Structure 1
Amino acid sequence: MPTDTGPKRYPEMQGKIALVTGGSSGIGLATAQAFAREGATLVIASRNQKRAKQALASLPDGGASWVECDVADGKSVERLISGIVKQHGRIDYAFNNAGSGGRMVPVVSMSEDAWRKSIDGHLTSVFLCMRHQLPVMMRQGGGVIVNNSSVDGLRGYPFPVGAAYAAAKHGVIGLTKSAALEHARDGIRITAICPGWVNTPPVEGFMKKSPEHAKAIIAQTPIGRIATPQEIADGVLWLCSDAASFMLGSPLVLDGGYMS
């Protein structure tokens, strides 16, 4: 199994318990790997067992475990959090990254089912995770929660198919800011990260399927390329670290100049 004996950027993470939802691929997996390099004990949660096994193979022996979870299902999330507490006694860092949605179509032709799937998969899921993480962190006297929003939580979706996704991601930011204020004096820091386009499997597939959209995505990004998952993971780890101790509520935008 991979190991990392190099110097730690955030030594305070050694031995801490980190939860990453959607941790089997893309940004989630990159973040899990980054936590592991800092010596944290990982719990990754996702729905796909095959991808989870591949993810665990890239993490240190004994330093990570997988729990099957549908973050849009409250009972599933409750089982996830109670299981972590039973096994580890606490949750120090939580990256609420997992998300899924309905078919992406313009508002005029969007079904109610597609709308609800997107809102539940990208927004209600974050609420459910925080709803069960917060009591744990309150009992232990602190912790950090980072929610995965998007640049699409800061402006309208750039193509005429993503209104429900953008609405959900806007909601994540509102939820994050409100919860951060509610718990500002509980020793719990709640923030969000807003990535631009990132080279994850879904984005890679989208760009390959539509060269025209791929060209537009690159043209909209001043740096001239999309992000790697590792670049976003670096931002998540900074938000969780003691170096970001005064970061509360406000989202961290990592977009290659997209929103500038």
Structure 2
Amino acid sequence: MSPATLPRRYPEMEGKVALVTGGTSGIGLATAQAFAHEGAIVVIASREEKRASAALKSIQGQASWIACDVSDGKRVEKLIAATLDRHGKLDYAFNNGGSGGAGRPVGKMSEEAWRKTIDGFLTSAFLCMRHQIPTMLKNGAGVIVNNSSVDGLRGYPFPGGAAYAAAKHGVLGLTRSAALEYAKSGLRITAVCPGWIDTPPITSFVKKDAKLGESIVAQEPIGRLGTAAEVANGVLWLCSDAASFMLGSPLVLDGGYMA
């Protein structure tokens, strides 16, 4: 169910500032749309302006875009500074953006591909948090949600995904540790672990290899892929006052995969 068809559930989000990295497609865009539906002021960050323009048109509410490669610390610093220049604060952050190198089995993986994947999915989350945390602490409150994966909870089920799984495991270690460091500060840090979600990368997989697509769906006890909107609903709940006792531990949204 899309955010536009739902009543507002979290009145406390009205006028709050929400940053979504990787916010121009898939889970990121669905989360940006959901924040806007709740009355939040949304900032989406990504690398491609053309895709961002299309994304902004689909967000019903106050939203803007800032160019950023989240694996680059200087650009992340500028992203947070620009958000503060525009809106004066940051209340919610969904660290969703990420990219990686070519996947290969460990014995055949290049060092370059390994580092690109770790930087793209793990270092990027650290860099975002590195600048988001001091900003939120100035207001004495805030919520950071990192996008990990069920691949952060178990080994990757197909050859070539070791670096990605390592990065996503790292995101959970980073999340849990940071959550404990700031548990008494008013700042909550947590994560989501989506299973197989119907997003552009998964759609591309399925189109290239129908048997692979069938095996992916077969891994979901619910019998289908999840939707980006379903993950977005989880992210918003984590950011809401309803989840005030939730920190550190991830929210697993996987259709029963890890059960």
- Deviation of the 1:7 alpha carbon: 3.6
SS in 2 for 1:125: helix
CA distance in 2, matches of 1:203, 1:4: 24
| TM-score calculated relative to the size of structure 1 | 0.97
Give the aligned partner of residue 222 of structure 1. 221
**Counterpart AA for 1:210:** D
CA distance in 2, matches of 1:250, 1:118: 24
The more displaced of 207-216 and 92-101 is 207-216
Give the aligned partner of residue 41 of structure 2. 41
* Deviations 1:186-236, CA, capped at 9 Å, x for gaps: 100000000001111011001111112111111111000110100000000
* Deviations 1:110-153, CA, capped at 9 Å, x for gaps: 00000000000000000000000000011111100000000000
- Deviation of the 1:6 alpha carbon: 6.8
- Deviation of the 1:5 alpha carbon: 9.9
Give the aligned partner of residue 139 of structure 1. 138
1:172 corresponds to 2:171: yes
- Deviation of the 1:94 alpha carbon: 0.1
The more displaced of 227-236 and 206-215 is 206-215
* Deviations 1:237-256, CA, capped at 9 Å, x for gaps: 00000000000100000000
- Deviation of the 1:60 alpha carbon: 2.9
Q: Which runs of 4+ in 1 moved over 6 A?
A: none
Give the aligned partner of residue 30 of structure 1. 30
CA distance in 2, matches of 1:191, 1:257: 20
RMSD: 1.2
CA distance in 2, matches of 1:13, 1:235: 15
Residues 101-250 of structure 1: matches in 2 within 5 Å?
101-250=100-249
* Deviations 1:53-107, CA, capped at 9 Å, x for gaps: 000001135x000000000000000000011111111100000000100001111
- What's the % identity of the aligned pairs? 70
Residues 12-23 of structure 1: matches in 2 within 5 Å?
12-23=12-23
Give the aligned partner of residue 253 of structure 2. 254
CA distance in 2, matches of 1:64, 1:33: 9
Give the aligned partner of residue 92 of structure 1. 91
**Counterpart AA for 2:124:** S
* Deviations 1:127-185, CA, capped at 9 Å, x for gaps: 00000000001111110000000000000000011000000000000000000000001
CA distance in 1, matches of 2:78, 2:253: 32
CA distance in 2, matches of 1:6, 1:12: 16
CA distance in 2, matches of 1:6, 1:98: 26
Give the aligned partner of residue 60 of structure 2. 60
Gaps of 5+ in 2: none
CA distance in 2, matches of 1:107, 1:211: 25
**Counterpart AA for 1:105:** R
CA distance in 2, matches of 1:134, 1:48: 26
CA distance in 2, matches of 1:16, 1:4: 19
Gaps of 5+ in 1: none
Alignment size in residue pairs? 257
- Deviation of the 1:20 alpha carbon: 0.2
CA distance in 1, matches of 2:99, 2:86: 28
CA distance in 2, matches of 1:78, 1:252: 28
Give the aligned partner of residue 50 of structure 1. 50
